[in-house]
Structure 1
Amino acid sequence: MSETISRPFTFVKDGIFYFSRRVPNELKSHYTSPRIAFSLRTRSARIAEARARKAADQLDEYWYHLRCQDGKLPGKHMLREQGLSSAEATAQAPVVSSASVLLSEAVGIYLQQKGKGRPVTFHRAAERSCGYVIDACGDKHLDAYTKADANAFRDALIARGLSGSSMTRVFGTVRAVTNFAASEQGLDFTNPFAGVYYDRTAGVSDRTPVPADALAVVQAQCRSLDDDMRWLVALVSDTGMRLAEAAGMTRDDIVRNNDGSLHARVRPHPWRRLKTKGSERDVPLEGEARWAAERILAQQTESRFAFPRYNKTDATNANAASAALNKWMKEYAPAGCTMHSFRHSMRERLRAVECPSDIVD
């Protein structure tokens, strides 16, 4: 507590510093909330203090302009009658609608309405993407952003080293946040972040399938080591499931059919969502996937999860699984092959046996 008291305009929640400042009474008509609050996206007190001071200075400058709009122009009596008009002589902030909100407030509106029941990654994506805009262009009202701001934002993303596909995701999130907040506020808004040109293929590498010989080596190593991490690899290798789908499975999701065959029920769970509604499916377990499923079911454990090590909290830790298994695979698969490569391998294997495309999908 003493740490935040000594740093003006900040408070800490779950270890993250937030900016908070009361809107002056005479300016509350310009805002939808009496207080401005948003994440500073850092756990460092030193960085938080610098960012909070910058935000406070920006607000002081903008509030000065708001107060001047209805007041008398300083030095107006000294203007020449034939000189500049008062409109030309007055340096004011861009005119914004009374319905407009700051981008930081727009993020709050978006997450409050659209973020209910969504995973923490959804919230982080919105905060991070719009945070990039604020870092590059400042925290402005939505209708104060211009195409020049959007282009500057693009250039800042390129300078960060983001690939074309990552920039597409970031721009998509920013457009979603700004469009939704503008709609909620009834703001007539032409989004400057739409139609921004950049090379969408820059830094994007082709997805590399696992070659047949490397697939055999990896699966042989899975049988040799015979532990839960290798069961997960084997399960994904002969099903093409997404890693998160497999890592978040319960033992009950592995179903034994009347004829003795096995299949996996891929369904959403509170601890692991699916990427799309169409991701719900039943996946036959054959080959090494069946071996892995049998090993999972044979374990004597009180956990309902197929892979307890990645389900110790209220959310499946697929990132930890990806990092560990991708590192392990490097010894046995060509460069560029990852756990996700098994999905591309499965598509190629199905195409090779002339499987109909609707079944492949």
Structure 2
Amino acid sequence: MSETISPAFTFVKDGVFYFSRRIPKDLKKHYTSPRIAYSLRTRSARIAEARARRAADQLDEYWYHLRSKDVELPGKHMLRMQSEGRVAVSAAAPEISSSSVLLSEAVGIYLRLKGQGRPETFHRAAERSCGYVIDACGDKQLDAFTKADANKFRDALIERGLAGSSITRIFGTVRAVTNFAASELGLTLTNPFNGVYYDREAGVSDRNPIPADALKVVQGQCRQLDDDMRWLVALVSDTGMRLAEAAGMARQDIERRSDGSLVAWVRPHPWRRLKTKGSERVVPLEGQAKWAAERLLSEVVESDFLFPRYNRKPQTNANAASAALNKWIKQMTPEGCTMHSFRHSMRDRLRAVECPSDIVDQIGGWQTDGVGHGYGSGYPVEVLQKWMKAVT
């Protein structure tokens, strides 16, 4: 067979074969996605064909017995667990015995009580993370899981090629689900998913700050090219905002104060949520960020967005902004630097002028508890502005 022809149920991405199969219409209610897709971890069409055929046959068998049989299969982690709880969040909790609650039922309890008003990503994270456990260890009662199960789960995640940071996030979600359900049902549980060892740095690439000389070059090019994409780079470069935070800003988020200074209000919008509650803050605009804001405000546009090109859909397209701008700054920065590197640079720049750490946290939205954020809560804008002037 030719290596360039994709076998049935596969497609090729960057030379690697992926399995892909659409969920039958009558079974879609059981899944969180209309399609199952994952890497077959091979560049060989012959091997890919064999693996894809095995997966397809297994799925056919599972779908035939869906109502009466639970088997291990590819894509099981994408199953919608306790879907009735997602449909009727306000409905009374189903009768579940505290001595026999399964992990899949625990997910339903967790999402029904803690998932109200939370984004779809919150639900998917709980379903997917606990689905990985079920893939590796089966759908057991909460008090039946052992440390051996937790280690088996860890090994399965490592086998998937996940980075240490991703494994940490998944384990955190599983612990949250099991602890919450056990508490709700009055179970005394020693959580086996606590204290599992793995290399947290594995597969995690360093995010380097942008050196001062490269920063000046990038900012100089922003002024020279003087367009909306460069205004976005300049805004991020001298504020340390996350790219999505800046790209999703509305024009009303830039405020001119009575003394003529400018500040940016980083706050959630329907089209762009914030990463954490502590991310909501006000950031004084100085240096190139102030120049960019002035240029943005001087534009006569009908859009309410500061950057309309990245807000043409219901959600801010931060991925498109990241791809385009990372490619551009790559020409002027050391290897490994991205748009997120400006955020690392800002923290280093504030350290260099001996800015107190709690003020650094407030400016960058790094702190999730403790001191409040915004004018009148935490440090006033004037104090933040003094330190932003010191680094620009």
**TM class, shorter-chain normalised?**
0.7 to 0.9
Deviation at 1:256, TM superposition (A): 0.8
SS of the counterpart of 1:282?
A: strand
Matched to 1:305, the amino acid is F
What is the RMSD of the two structures over their aligned residues, measured on CA atoms? 3.0
When structure 1 is superposed on structure 2, of 252-261 and 108-117 the one drifting more is 108-117
Deviation at 1:229, TM superposition (A): 2.1
Map 1:56-67 → 2, pairs under 5 A? 56=65, 60=69
Alpha carbons of structure 1 residues 110 and 3: separation in structure 2 relative to 1, 3 Å = closer
Matched to 2:294, the amino acid is E
Q: Is the 8 A contact 1:97 1:187 kept in 2?
A: no
Distance, in Å, in 2 between the alignment partners of 1:338 and 1:279 is 20
Distance, in Å, in 2 between the alignment partners of 1:50 and 1:320 is 37
Deviation at 1:142, TM superposition (A): 2.5
- The percent of aligned pairs where both chains have the same amino acid is 73
Distance, in Å, in 2 between the alignment partners of 1:60 and 1:305 is 51
When structure 1 is superposed on structure 2, of 325-334 and 153-162 the one drifting more is 325-334
Give the number of the structure whose alpha-carbon radius of gyration is greater: 1
Deviation at 1:322, TM superposition (A): 2.3
Deviation string 1:116-148 (CA, Å, 9 cap, x unpaired) is 222333223222222221222223332332221
Q: Is the 8 A contact 2:209 2:341 kept in 1?
A: yes
Q: Is the 8 A contact 1:102 1:141 kept in 2?
A: yes
Which residue in 1 is equivalent to 2:181?
181
Which residue in 1 is equivalent to 2:247?
247
Alpha carbons of structure 1 residues 352 and 138: separation in structure 2 relative to 1, 3 Å = same
Deviation at 1:53, TM superposition (A): 4.1
- In the superposition, the TM-score normalised over structure 2's length comes to 0.68
Which residue in 2 is equivalent to 1:92?
none
Q: Is the 8 A contact 1:97 1:143 kept in 2?
A: no
Which residue in 2 is equivalent to 1:305?
305
Distance, in Å, in 2 between the alignment partners of 1:312 and 1:340 is 23
Deviation at 1:174, TM superposition (A): 0.9
Which residue in 1 is equivalent to 2:284?
284
Specify every segment of 5 or more residues in structure 2 that has no aligned partner in the other structure, as ranges.
Answer: 1-21, 38-51, 72-95, 362-392
Q: Is the 8 A contact 2:102 2:141 kept in 1?
A: yes
Which residue in 2 is equivalent to 1:270?
270
Alpha carbons of structure 1 residues 60 and 353: separation in structure 2 relative to 1, 3 Å = closer
Map 1:4-19 → 2, pairs under 5 A? 4=24, 11-12=27-28, 18-19=29-30
Map 1:13-32 → 2, pairs under 5 A? 18-19=29-30
Distance, in Å, in 2 between the alignment partners of 1:130 and 1:52 is 23
Specify every segment of 5 or more residues in structure 1 that has no aligned partner in the other structure, as ranges.
Answer: 13-17, 20-37, 63-95
Which residue in 1 is equivalent to 2:147?
147
Deviation string 1:208-237 (CA, Å, 9 cap, x unpaired) is 100111111221222233322221111010
Which residue in 2 is equivalent to 1:165?
165
SS of the counterpart of 1:210?
A: coil
Alpha carbons of structure 1 residues 59 and 221: separation in structure 2 relative to 1, 3 Å = farther
SS of the counterpart of 2:265?
A: strand
SS of the counterpart of 1:11?
A: helix
- In the superposition, the TM-score normalised over structure 1's length comes to 0.73
Q: Is the 8 A contact 2:234 2:289 kept in 1?
A: yes
Number of residue pairs the alignment of both structures matches:
300
